[in-house]
Chain A
Amino acid sequence: MADSTSIPASATAIQDTAPPRHSALVRLTHWITTLCFFALLVTGMEIVVSHPRFYWGETGNSLTTPLFRIPIPSSRSTVPSGYNYVLPDQNGWSRSLHFQSAWILVLTGLLYVTSGLLSGHLRRDLVPSKPQRSWQAITTTLRDHLRFKRPTETDTYNVLQRLTYLAVVFVLFPMAIWTGLAMSPAFVSAFPSTVILLGGQQSARTLHFILSLTLTLFVAGHVVMVALAGFKARLLSMLTGTPATKEQP
C-alpha cells in the first residue's frame, strides 16, 4: 500500500475535527461514577461482613431466622456465622466512605441527568430511536447477541444497550438510593412511607443488597462488552473522547 503512511495523518485530522464520541461531561461523570461505585461496592461488602444475614420485614437479628445468609465469617462475634474466628471490624471508615461516595454519586448523577436532558443526550443516545422501537428490533438484537454475532461498527447504541443504560440510570440507581435511605432511622422519621412501601427496614436492606448485586452484574457485563468491542479503543474514547470508530485505519 503506497499511501499507508498517510493514513495515520488523516486519522489524526479526523480526530481533531470530528465531534467526540462521548462529550466531556459524559466522560467526567462516567469516571466519577465508576470511582464512587467501586468505593460503595467495597465498603458495602465490608459492612455486610459485620452481619452477613438478610431478613424480610421490619426486624431481624441473630435471634431470628434469616431469609438467607452468606456463608462467610463475620466481623462480629455475636453473629452465628459457623466459623470460629472473627474478622477485624472495618465498619467505621467503611460507613463514612460509603455515604460520602453515595453523596458524590448522587450529585454526579443529577448533573448527568440534568445535562443529558438539556443537551438531548438522553433523547438522542439512550431513548431507543424510532426504528428500534419494536419487539422485532429488540428480538433481532437479542438473537444476534445470543449467537455472538459481531455487530457492525456503528456510532450509535443498539436497542439493548439503550434499554440497559436507561434501566441503570432511571431504575437501578434510584432504587439503590431509595432502599439505602429507607434504612436511615432519621430519614424515615421524616418520610415513613419510604420504608413502609418496601415492607420494612430489613426488607429495604435486603433489596439494597440485591440491587447492588444487580448493579455489579451490569458493570461486569459492561466491561465484557467493552472488551469484545475493542477494549483499548473504547477505553480511550471514554477517556479522551476520540471517536473510536474512525481512529483505526
Chain B
Amino acid sequence: MNRRTLITTGLAATAGVAGLATAERIAKHYGLLPPNASGPFALGETLTYASQRLLTRHSMAREFSRGQISPRPFPNEIAPPSDAFKSHQAAGFADWQLSVTGLVDRPVNLSIAQLKSYPAHSQITQLACEEGWSYIAEWTGISLSQILDAAGIQPHARYIVYYSIEPGWWESVDMADALHPQTFLTYGLNGDDLPVASGGPLRLRVPRQLGYKSVKFINRLVVTDSLKGFGKGLGSASPEAGYSWYAGI
C-alpha cells in the first residue's frame, strides 16, 4: 500500500465515521432511531425503521373485500393460559379491565363493555406472521387513538407500551402507529366476539406491522416519552428475545 492509497483510505474512513455520526444525530432528532438501535444489527434496524417511517407515516394498510376473508383464521400457538387469565375466562371476561396510564391527563380503566359502548369500527386486513404465513379477517373494535384522546395524551408522548395479561408479553409502538386510524383495540373477529385463540377478549391490532406486534389479551397501556425504563430498554419483549422492535417488514 503506497502513501497515496493510505491517505485516501484514511480520509475515506474518517469521512465515513463522521458521516455515520451525523446521520445518527439527524435520525435521533427526527425520531427515526429505533429503541433497539444497538448491537451488530443497529445499521439495518435503523435504515429499515427510518426509511419506512419516512415513507409510511400516514399510509393505510391494505383493506380487502368481504369475499377475500380467509375461511379459517389461523390462530397460531399460545402458551397455556395463566391462572389470572383462566379466572377471567371463567367469569366471561366481565371484570376484564384495560388500564391507560403514563403521560395522560386522565388515567382510565375500561371494561370490555365500556369499550363496546364507543361506536364500533371494522377493518378487513391481513395478518402476516414473520414466519411467512398470513390470513385475512374482519377485525372489529375501536381505534386506539379514540381511547388515547379520551385519556388526554400529553404532547411529549412518543410511545405507547402495551401489555398482555400473560407475563413477559409486551410491545410498544411509536406515535405514528399508535395514532394511526387502523391501529385497533379489537374485541371482534369475523362478526363474533374475538375468540381466545385469536387474542380475545382484547387484542391490539397493528396491521402495518407483522403479527407479533398484535399482542393478545391486552390489559394495560402505558404512554411514555422514553422506552429506557421498560424491560431492558430495547422497546419491547421481542428485541430481548432476538427479534426486531420495528416489524414493518
Pick the contact of B72 from A60, A63, A77, A93 — CB < 8 Å? A63
Neighbouring B residues of A192 by C-beta, 8 Å: 62
Asked, given contacts A187-B249, A190-B59, whether A96 binds B45 with beta carbons under 8 Å apart, the answer is: yes
Pick the contact of B132 from A48, A181, A185 — CB < 8 Å? A48
Neighbouring A residues of B82 by C-beta, 8 Å: none
Partner-binding segment picked from A97-105, A117-125, A142-150 = A97-105
B44 pairs with A187, CB closer than 8 A: no
Neighbouring B residues of A96 by C-beta, 8 Å: 41, 44-45, 242, 244
Neighbouring A residues of B208 by C-beta, 8 Å: 185-186, 189
Give the residue name and chain of the B residue nearest to A64 (CB): B70
B48 pairs with A97, CB closer than 8 A: no
Mind listing 11 A-B residue pairs with CB under 8 Å? Answer: A48-B132, A50-B132, A58-B136, A93-B242, A95-B130, A99-B244, A100-B44, A102-B44, A181-B249, A185-B61, A201-B134
Rounded to whole Å, the gap between the CB of A164 and the closest CB of chain B is 29
Q: Known A-B contacts: A63-B72, A96-B244. Give 8 more (CB < 8 A).
A: A58-B134, A61-B129, A64-B70, A92-B243, A100-B47, A103-B44, A187-B55, A189-B56
Asked, given contacts A59-B70, A92-B241, A103-B48, whether A185 binds B128 with beta carbons under 8 Å apart, the answer is: yes
Centre residue among A50, A59, A201 by max chain B CB count within 10 A? A59
Pick the contact of A58 from B47, B55, B126 — CB < 8 Å? B126
Interface residues of B in 61-105 (CB under 8 A from A): 61-62, 64, 68, 70, 72, 74, 76-77
A29 at the interface (CB under 8 A from B): no
A21 at the interface (CB under 8 A from B): no
A188 pairs with B62, CB closer than 8 A: yes
Give the secondary structure class of B's interface: loop
Measured between alpha carbons, how far is A195 from B243 in the docked complex, in Å?
25
Rounded to whole Å, the gap between the CB of A229 and the closest CB of chain B is 29
B44 pairs with A50, CB closer than 8 A: no
B30 at the interface (CB under 8 A from A): no
B131 at the interface (CB under 8 A from A): yes
Pick the contact of B210 from A48, A53, A185 — CB < 8 Å? A185
Rounded to whole Å, the gap between the CB of B133 and the closest CB of chain A is 4
Neighbouring B residues of A62 by C-beta, 8 Å: 74, 133
B188 at the interface (CB under 8 A from A): no
Measured between alpha carbons, how far is A58 from B243 in the docked complex, in Å?
25
Asked, given contacts A58-B136, A61-B135, whether A185 binds B126 with beta carbons under 8 Å apart, the answer is: yes
Neighbouring B residues of A61 by C-beta, 8 Å: 70, 74, 129, 133-135
Give the residue name and chain of the B residue nearest to A195 (CB): B62
Asked, given contacts A91-B130, A185-B210, whether A100 binds B248 with beta carbons under 8 Å apart, the answer is: no
Neighbouring B residues of A48 by C-beta, 8 Å: 132
